[in-house]
Structure formats: C-alpha cells, structure tokens
Amino acid sequence: MAPKSDSVEGIVLNFVNEQNRPLNSQNVADSLQKFNLKKSSVQKALDALADSGRISSKEYGKQKIYLARQDQFDIPNSEELSRMKEENAKLQQQLEEQKRAISEVEGEIKTLQSNLTLEQIRAKEAKLKMEVEEMEDKLNNLRGGVTLVKFEDRKVVEEMYSDRINQWRRRKRIFKDLWDAITENLPKDLKEFKEELAIEYDEDVGVSFQSLCDLMQHRKKRARCQ
C-alpha cells in the first residue's frame, strides 16, 4: 500500500523521486525543514521506504545513501535522447537570445535613467535664459559706453602700474650703468659673457618695455580726451 502524500513517508518519497540523485538522511531533513519534520522522523521514513522496496539504499561505511528506484522512470532510447539533445540545444539558443534581449533592454533603461527629466530640462532652460539675459545686459552696457570699473578703482590700478613701470625703468638704467662699467675693458665677447652669466634682456624673453610704456601713455591720452 502506497503511503499517503501528506504523511511523513509520502513527503519523503516524493522528494526522493523528484531529486532522483543519491541522498543521505541529513540532505533530506535539511531540504524538508519547511514541513517541520525532525531528522529522526525523516530517518525512520527513509528506512521504512527502503525496507518496503519503494526506494533503494546502500551503505558506505557508517553512512547510508538513498536513491529513487530507477525502474519507475521511463528511460529514453537513442532516438529520443538525440531529439532531447536537439530540443535542449534549441532551448539554450533561445535562452541566450533572451539574455541578449534583456541586456539590451537594461542598457536602454540605464540610458533613459541617465537622461534629464522634463522638469530638470525646464529648470536648466530657465537657468540658461537667466544667464543669457545677464550677459546681454553686460554687453549692452559695454556698447553704450557705460564704465564698469569705478574711477577710484581704476586710479589705484593705474598708479600701481605706473609705479611698477618706473621701478622697471630705474633698474634697467642701474643695470646698464653697471654692465657698461664691468665690460668697458673686457677682452671677451660680450654676447658669450652674457650667456655665461645667464643674463637675459627683455627682448630675449619676448617682452617689450617700450610697448608697456606706450600703453600707459595711450591710457592717459584717452583719459584727457574723455
């Protein structure tokens, strides 16, 4: 008589047949914890099923292994195995195609998530419009001849600039006097001597002292004309 499906033996038998692989009592007890079965009850059911011939068992030392009876399963012939392999290959191909499709969809989702929302686009548009309006106001002020720098601030900068130019001119004159005195009776080539001392003139580094002086004079002339 077959055990009831909801009895301990029925639950254990169904599990062993479903797994159809070698199992010990611990494997079965761990897998059937959802049924609140104790290991002792599982062990008892396994032994009873083995004794009644419903499952197979074999001892390996101190451990006992249980396995579903193989004569209850339909064993496919070579043609059926070939067909099953072909179907498995088709299913594997379909699985790969599904994986690729899922990957593409996930990529599209990430792209969409990285894009700005309509609300964010509107906020950015409003900010850019405000920046454009501010720049247009500044441009209109410049076109209209509005002075953007206060007279006091400009005067401070001009005085500082003039002071630096005067210091530069004075130091150039001091250097020239010293250089002329040192090299007056020097037998060496002056160009080679200058290179030995690593001395560089303004022109050697692309600086025109006169153009900077002219810039200041030009600024003064403009100020008198205004």
Range ranked top by mean pLDDT from 64-68, 74-78, 175-179: 64-68
Measured CA angle at 138 (ends 220, 158), to 5 deg:
20
- Please tell me the distance from the alpha carbon of residue 5 to that of residue 53, in angstroms, as a whole number: 17
Q: Could you read off the pLDDT of 84-118 as tens digits, one per residue?
A: 888 888 899 999 999 998 888 888 888 877 787 88
Amino acid at 50: A
* pLDDT at 38 (0 to 100): 92
pTM for this entry = 0.37
> 104-112: long-range contacts at Cβ-Cβ below 8 A with a sequence spacing of 24 or more?
none
Q: Could you read off the pLDDT of 184-196 as tens digits, one per residue?
A: 888 888 888 888 8
- Please tell me the distance from the alpha carbon of residue 192 to that of residue 179, in angstroms, as a whole number: 14
Q: Could you read off the pLDDT of 120-140 as tens digits, one per residue?
A: 888 889 999 999 998 888 888
Whether the predicted pLDDT of 222 surpasses 60: no
**Cβ atoms of residues 30 and 46 within 8 Å:** no
Q: Could you read off the pLDDT of 15-60 as tens digits, one per residue?
A: 999 999 999 999 999 999 998 999 999 999 999 999 999 999 999 8
Query: Please, what's the b/e burial string for 49-64 (b: 16 or more CB within 10 A of its CB; e: otherwise)?
Result: bbeeebbbeeeeeeee
Give the architecture-level CATH label for domain 8-72. Orthogonal Bundle (1.10)
28, two tokens = 């079965």
Top pLDDT among 50 and 6 is at 50
User: Strands, E, within the chain: which ranges?
Assistant: 55-60, 63-68
Top pLDDT among 146 and 133 is at 133
* pLDDT at 146 (0 to 100): 62
> Tokens 């150039």 appear where?
172
* pLDDT at 218 (0 to 100): 62
